[in-house]
């Protein structure tokens, strides 16, 4: 996958998940399947997986991973894993780099970038996002290439559910984990996926963004809706 495209009005909607822990005791396949099954009704066609698939069971993922018509999973890490899934007959799996261009559905103009990262050291969300972002450049040539455009930074691997605004008009979105390794038996830590809905202006401004975390740990409810 080389870029992601908004609709003709500049709206972009997708889902994001992290740490599904497949192949371990923390895996929650029935809940993952229900999460995927609800996405078409929400107008979502792409799910970005930010990390924690468990590469050791990559060959078996083709047999157990949810398959929902019209939904593509985009893996931002482990290209070899995705290649093996495709070899197992799954055409609904794709890969991308950690910095994915966002283009307008009507004009094909570059609007910004989707930055995908996974926190393996359990730092806070903004620390991880800051380490992944590209610093603002003073170069006019590089600015014309889109280096000064908004960024939507997704951070997986944590249980933080938040959206924070960046100085350049972008945002940081914490993506909750999908395994269930509770620190407390009752109630368990929440787990689930995030629905992201953003709107760009024709000139590339990020004028609206919303992140909804769908809790699958029992209630199947929206834990938090954060919007601007």
Residue 195 confidence (pLDDT): 93
- The contacts of residue 185 (CB under 8 Å, 6+ apart) are none
Note the residue count of the chain: 228
Residue 141 confidence (pLDDT): 42
Residue 216 confidence (pLDDT): 85
Instruction: Please report where in the chains the tokens 């009005």 appear, as a residue.
Output: 9
Q: What is the pTM of this model?
A: 0.88
- Domains and their CATH numbers in the chain: 4-227 (3.60.21.10)
Residue 140 confidence (pLDDT): 41
Mean pLDDT of each 10-residue bin along the chain, 228 residues long? 93 93 81 93 93 68 88 82 77 89 93 88 76 62 58 84 76 84 65 92 87 81 66
- The CA-atom distances, in angstroms, between 176 and each of 7, 62, 163, 187 are 26, 23, 12, 17
């Amino acid at each position: 996958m080389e870029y992601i495209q908004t609709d003709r009005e500049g709206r972009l909607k997708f889902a994001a998940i992290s740490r599904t822990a497949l192949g371990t005791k923390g895996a929650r396949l029935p809940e993952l399947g229900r999460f995927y099954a609800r996405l078409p009704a929400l107008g979502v066609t792409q799910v970005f997986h930010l990390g924690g698939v468990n590469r050791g069971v990559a060959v078996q993922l083709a047999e157990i991973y949810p398959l929902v018509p019209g939904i593509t999973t985009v893996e931002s890490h482990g290209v070899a894993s995705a290649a093996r899934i495709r070899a197992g007959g799954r055409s609904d799996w794709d890969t991308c780099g950690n910095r994915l261009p966002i283009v307008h559905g009507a004009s094909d103009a570059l609007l910004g970038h989707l930055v995908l990262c996974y926190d393996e050291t359990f730092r806070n969300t903004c620390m991880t996002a800051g380490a992944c972002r590209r610093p603002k450049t003073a170069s006019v040539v590089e600015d014309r290439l889109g280096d000064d455009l908004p960024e939507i930074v997704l951070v997986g691997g944590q249980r933080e559910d938040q959206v924070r605004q960046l100085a350049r008009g972008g945002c940081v979105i914490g993506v909750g984990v999908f395994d269930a390794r509770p620190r407390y038996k009752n109630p368990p830590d929440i787990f689930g996926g995030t629905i992201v809905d953003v709107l760009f202006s024709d000139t590339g401004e990020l004028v609206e963004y919303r992140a909804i975390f769908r809790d699958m740990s029992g209630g199947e409810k929206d834990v938090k809706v954060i919007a601007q």
